[in-house]
Structures are given as structure tokens and as C-alpha cells.
A = this chain, B = another copy of it.
Amino acid sequence: MKEVNIIKALTFIEPGPVVLVTTFNEQKQNVMTISWTMPTDWEGGIALTTGPWNYSFQALMKTKECVIAIPPADILEKVIQIGDISGEKTDKFSLFNLTPLPAKTVQAPLIQECMACLECKMTDYIEKYGIFIFKTTRVLINESCLDKKMIHAIGDGTFIIDGEKKDCRSLMADKLPPDL
């Protein structure tokens, strides 16, 4: 995977894809499926909502770090199944044939099969709403997946896959941050 500028983190979160979140609780790597995320700034800030019903929640609270990975649409069924079973008694990397790769700034693993991986440090937890705030510390893109499509969850068990791309840079050139 190729490292790119931190500002690129938002380009993987702003479109609203389903993401995989990996953790390492000092004993075991785990991965969960999440679709409630948003950017909070242009410097890699990300908000993510989850709660104690997820086994990964304890690992997040304890280690204060994770990797947010963007799965391509061709593994949609796997992504749903990852979200449907608990990692408490399962090694989901092995069960779903996902390849964990070492990250650099966090102990949670990257996922080789994903389009991009964001190494993230938790900076805050807003308990009232179950909102985790992360700061992206490293952005990696998988150059062999760049033409793949993201998955968007409707929330009712149906999903939408990325369709047509539109380049509208000329309409909003004055609003775009440099380097993006």
C-alpha cells in the first residue's frame, strides 16, 4: 500500500461508504463493519458512532486506536457477514480470508483487500451520543484497487454501489483546499 497525504483521509469518509474498523486489544486482532461516520475537519478528523454492543468497542476504549479501511464492492457479502457476527469467539481475519498487514502508527492491522486504510488515534469519546473522535495519523491507498467501487448502506439491509463519477472541480475551485 502507498502512503499519501493526511488530507486525503476525508476523500474516503465524506462519500459515506461502509467501512471496516480493525482493532488489536493486545491479544487479538478484530474487525467490525460500521456505516455511521463523517469527517470533522480537513486535517484527518473523523467522527464514528458505535456502542458497547460491539465487541470491538472495548478494544477501542482500551487502546484508543484503530484502522478504518474502505472495502470494495466486490466483497460486499463478506462485509455484511463481518458485521453480523461477533469477534468474541471468532478470528474474523481467518474466517473471511482477510490479510492483516502491519500498520506504522497504530497496532491495529491494515487490511490488504481494502481500497484504502486510515491509521487512526482516538482523541475523544462523546459518551452521550456514542461518538468516537479520531485523528488520522497515516493514509494508505491500495493502488491495485483504485478503480473499484465503494459500498453505501441504506440501513435497512439494502446497499447501493458507487455509480457514475462527475468531475465538478471547475464549479467549486474557490472552495477546494490546496493539496486535495
A residues at B contact (CB < 8 Å) = 10-11, 14-17, 35-41, 45, 47-49, 76-77, 80-81, 83-84, 124, 126, 128-131, 133, 149-150, 152-176, 180
Once the chains are docked, how many angstroms separate the CA of A168 from the CA of B78?
A: 11
- Cβ–Cβ contact B39 & A47, under 8 A: no
User: Can you list the 3 inter-chain pairs with the closest CB atoms, starting with the nearest?
Assistant: A16-B16, A163-B163, A157-B169
Q: How many copies does the complex hold?
A: 2
Instruction: Pick the contact of A166: B47, B76, B176 (CB < 8 A).
Output: B76
**How far in angstroms is the closest Cβ of chain B from A62?**
22
Overall SS of chain A's interface: mixed
Smallest Cβ-Cβ distance to A37: which chain B residue: B38
Could you list 28 examples of A-B contacts with CB < 8 Å?
A11-B154, A11-B155, A14-B16, A14-B155, A15-B16, A16-B17, A36-B39, A38-B48, A38-B49, A39-B49, A41-B129, A47-B47, A77-B168, A77-B171, A84-B171, A84-B172, A84-B175, A150-B152, A152-B152, A156-B169, A157-B167, A158-B165, A159-B165, A160-B164, A161-B164, A161-B166, A162-B163, A163-B164
